[in-house]
Amino acid sequence: MSIRVTDSYLSSILVGDLNRSLGYMLKQQRMAGSMRRVNSFADDPRSVSSIQRYNQLIATNTEYMDNVSRSRIIVDSTDTALQNISDVLASVRELAMRESSALATDQTMSIAVVEVDNFANRLLDVLNTTVEGNYIFGGQRTSQPAFVRSGDTILYNGDDAEMFSRVGPNSSMAVNIPGAVFQGTQSSTLGGRADMAPRIQTTTDLADINLGEGFDSGSILIEDGLGNAWSVDLSSCLTIGDVITTINTETGGVVTAGLKSDGSGLELVGVGPLNVQDEGDSTSATSLGFSTTSQGGILTGRDIRPAASSTTLLADIESLSGSLPLGSMEVEWQGSTYTIDFSTATTLGDLETIFEAAVPGMELDIRDTSLSLLGGSPETFTVINADATNTASLLGLAGTGTPVRLFGMLEDLKGYLEAGDQDSVRGVMVELATLEDTVYQLMMRNGGRQRDLDWADGILHQRDERLRSNLSLEYDADIAQVASDLSRAEASYQASLMITSQLFQYNLIQFLR
């Protein structure tokens, strides 16, 4: 029994095989062209959900990396601004030290007033730094200047809130420093106005003079009014007494060196005018307070006293001469009154110990040439004399402690310079030193943020690499495999075409035969 296969059935089989071969070849060509294994939902329905999930995770991680990048700009700009603020405060400190010393004159103080205005303008520019149009020191009020000038006063125009940036799936960090920290929100201070630097003596170490900056070892040139000139080598001197002995020996007693009556420096006596200069590349004469010419036979050097320290004897402090032993003073703070008895103190270190034992939460600090009081909160406090010894006034501590203020400090300094009040200028340096400490702490905090951003950036890039690698396993094609499959698909399609063409060569004449 024969079975007849119709031409229609045969044709459908051949065309179906041909279309399947063509479809497979087109799929391989699409994979080769896009380099992706999955180009539609039909290619691998089970992988589509994984691909979508990885794409979403990559997009979210990219947002975190963008946040880190923008945060880095803010933090780096803050670091630059803090460095500039630190530089300005260092210049203010130099000015205050100069104008509170014996070198200050009415003319230099008038010039210093202008300098203080310039410093305030520089700080105003720095604290109004913007990033992408946002004021970085304004707290969360970033659309308006952080500090504005109102007459002669500079006011803070922001808030004390921090801005946070999401830098990971479960982590965020503050990226700004509100300018409120410069407006007296940290602690209260009272700068002492009395000079606590000890007198120099013949036993004073040269390394300690000039408030600890020391002595530049070398030679000096001394000339008197008779035309005599002596080159005096002081390189082997270790103490003030060595300097005095060496000068007196080298000049043969024609010019004699000694201590000033107030113990603040040296003086030379001879036939005037006397002239002392640095010799060679050294600055020995300058560091000894000389490097000048006298009008008469006495050349008086500038102040070269050592800095006050905890070991400084009260008896060695000129401003306390004839007022020892000390008595008592009172501190009114946080609703309480504390009486501090200093009658047993013999050194500045004793003052520290006695005070801090009597007033909890407050510190007495020794800073170069003065004392200062630091409260542990921004609340104001008052210091008054408690007996007839006027101890608070003698120590320069009578007055009111206020929160540390950046522009307020400059306003006070300007006023003291205009009034020619050197003692008050010296007192400003305590608040200035506290501000410098505050800026230093802010720089450390900001540096920690830079380090954290570096760490977060590294973690996010590693996560991005892992996610993209996993996505590639689901999404991307194996190039070698696709090339091999495409070659086989093309060969299969060509074979199908050949077979189909051979089976369908019959025409009407061949059929009639």
- What integer pLDDT is reported at residue 36 of this predicted model? 67
Q: HEC states along 442-501?
A: HHHHHHHHHHHHHHHHHHHHHHHHHHHHHHHHHHECCHHHHHHHHHHHHHHHHHHHHHHH
Strand order, beta sheet including 256-259: 256-259, 266-269, 298-300
- What integer pLDDT is reported at residue 32 of this predicted model? 66
- What integer pLDDT is reported at residue 509 of this predicted model? 53
pLDDT band at 376; cut points 50, 70, 90 = confident
Percent of the chain as helix, strand, coil, to the nearest 5: 50, 20, 30
Count Cα atoms within 13 angstroms, Cβ side, for 67: 20
- What integer pLDDT is reported at residue 403 of this predicted model? 77
- Taking residue 498's Cβ as centre, other Cβ atoms within 10 Å add up to 10
pLDDT at 508 over 60: no
pLDDT at 504 over 80: no
- What integer pLDDT is reported at residue 281 of this predicted model? 84
Burial of residue 74 (number of CB atoms within 10 Å: 0-12, 13-18, 19+):
buried
Q: Helices (H), strands (E): how many in the chain?
A: 11, 19
| Mean predicted confidence (pLDDT) in 387-404 | 89
| pLDDT tens per residue, range 213-223 | 899 889 999 99
| pLDDT tens per residue, range 77-124 | 999 999 999 999 999 999 998 888 777 888 999 999 999 999 999 999
As given in the structure block, the two tokens for residue 163 are 């801005």
Residue type, 129: T
Question: What's the chain's average pLDDT?
Answer: 85
- Taking residue 207's Cβ as centre, other Cβ atoms within 10 Å add up to 13
Q: HEC states along 105-140?
A: CHHHHHHHHHHHHHHHHHHHHHHCCEECCEECCCCC
- Check: CB of residue 147 under 8 Å from CB of residue 202: no
- What integer pLDDT is reported at residue 23 of this predicted model? 67
Residue type, 16: G
pLDDT at 18 over 90: no
- What integer pLDDT is reported at residue 377 of this predicted model? 77
pLDDT at 507 over 60: no
| pLDDT tens per residue, range 432-485 | 888 888 898 899 999 999 999 999 999 999 988 888 887 777 766 666 666 676
Sign of the torsion formed by the C-alpha atoms of 509, 511, 512 and 513? positive
| Mean predicted confidence (pLDDT) in 4-20 | 66
* DSSP state letters, 5-28: --HHHHHHHHHHHHHHHHHHHHHH
| pLDDT tens per residue, range 155-190 | 888 888 889 998 888 888 899 999 888 876 566 778
| Mean predicted confidence (pLDDT) in 201-216 | 92
**Bigger pLDDT: 276 or 479?**
276
| Mean predicted confidence (pLDDT) in 331-356 | 95
As a whole number of angstroms, the distance between CA 61 and CA 467 comes to 9
- Check: CB of residue 112 under 8 Å from CB of residue 99: yes
| pLDDT tens per residue, range 225-246 | 999 999 999 999 999 999 999 9
**Bigger pLDDT: 30 or 94?**
94
Residues sharing a CB contact under 8 Å with residue 71, sequence separation 6 or more, in sequence order: 165, 167, 173, 175, 453
pLDDT at 2 over 80: no
- Check: CB of residue 339 under 8 Å from CB of residue 394: no
